[in-house]
Amino acid sequence: MALTTYVEAIRQGIWEEMERDERVFILGEDVGIYGGAFKVTEGMLERFGEMRVIDTPISESAIVGAAIGAALMGMRPIAEMQFIDFISCAFDQITNFAAKNRYRWGAGVPIVIRGPSGGGVHGGPYHSQNPEMYFVHTPGLKVVAPATAYDAKGLIKAAIRDEDPVIYLEHKYLYRRIKEELPKDDYIVPIGRAAVRREGKDLAILTYGAMLYQALEAADVLAREAGLQTEVVDLRSLLPLDKDAILSAAKKTGKVLVVHEDTRTGGIAGEIAAIINEEVFEYLDGPVLRVTAPDTPVPYSPPLEEFFLPNKEKILKAARQLAAY
């Protein structure tokens, strides 16, 4: 069986949903003739036509506004942000309309807003952000961040079928680096479920997105060096969070390290630490620790970006500290 890249998994998921449901369409900058800045929509204009693959002006607020209107008229829009950083231009439409509409008058807004997030590619401060927490803080939205090709496909299909707005964060560093055999049969990955990627009893690392692979590498080193069995949990869904998986890992190991590429203050690590402290404090054998990016914009300079981003060595330092506590 051929291996499928992370970016191709997203493309396949969208393609299959457009084949399955004629209400599904995609709109965004350069999604049609050019096939998308990262080629996620390549070939779709030829297959589905210009009524379902729509090139738009460079206006994220217009893209999301049009998607909301189409959703209220019975369509299933996928709005692409060419880089997820520019989702901020559509913040009002997302947080004050799409997210609140079901609460306000009972009408769901079944849109997917997707785009490339994250650093590691020297994109600088306007093309490398992780804006998830603006939206995790907004009731009415769902926020997902797949780390594997299997999840990338399964979560985009679940997002398209969802009756409410979903923010779908695809990490650009993973696009062509991650490859996997995918099932031929139709499948989805349920939103709101974490996945245990490595079993362990001594320490738990909770993470998502590209940091999953740094965590797994660190877990390998801890096993070789110290015989530590590290459980690695891939959150996958940030809103809703899989509280059961989080609490289970905390109870099982007694020591929890939360890792994310997002900046530190207001990051999801703080929320996870609060959940653990409130609900399973008596099981802990050490403080919940965080490994995150510092509170600065993402640097353009490659050495500065390397300093900024969490990595295996930073995870190992915190894990050793926690294991010795």
11-14 long-range contacts, CB within 8 A, separation 24+: 11/39, 11/40, 11/41, 11/42, 12/153, 12/182, 13/152, 13/153, 13/154, 13/156, 13/157, 13/160, 14/40, 14/41, 14/44, 14/78, 14/156, 14/160
Q: Is the pTM of this model over 0.95?
A: yes
- φ, ψ dihedrals at 270, nearest 5°: -65, -40
d(CA 186, CA 56): 30
What are the domain boundaries of the chain? 4-180, 195-323
Q: Please give the pLDDT value at position 189.
A: 98
Q: Which two tokens stand for residue 166?
A: 């979903």
Instruction: Please write down the long-range contacts of 32-35, taking CB distance under 8 Å and 24 or more positions apart.
Output: none
Residue of 127, 137, 171, 260 marked active site:
127
Per-residue pLDDT, 1? 67
User: Which CATH number is correct for 4-180, 3.40.50.970, 3.40.50.10330, 3.10.20.90, 3.40.50.300?
Assistant: 3.40.50.970
Residues 6+ apart with CB under 8 A from 268: 132, 133, 136, 235, 238, 241, 258, 260, 262
Question: Is-catalytic flag, 260?
Answer: no
So what's the pLDDT on residue 10?
Answer: 98
CATH architecture of 195-323: 3-Layer(aba) Sandwich (3.40)
Burial class of residue 63 in the structure, from the number of CB atoms within 10 Å of its CB (0-12 exposed, 13-18 middle, 19+ buried):
buried
Report CA 216 to chain centroid distance, whole Å: 17
Residues of the chain with pLDDT under 50: none
Same fold, 4-180 and 195-323: yes
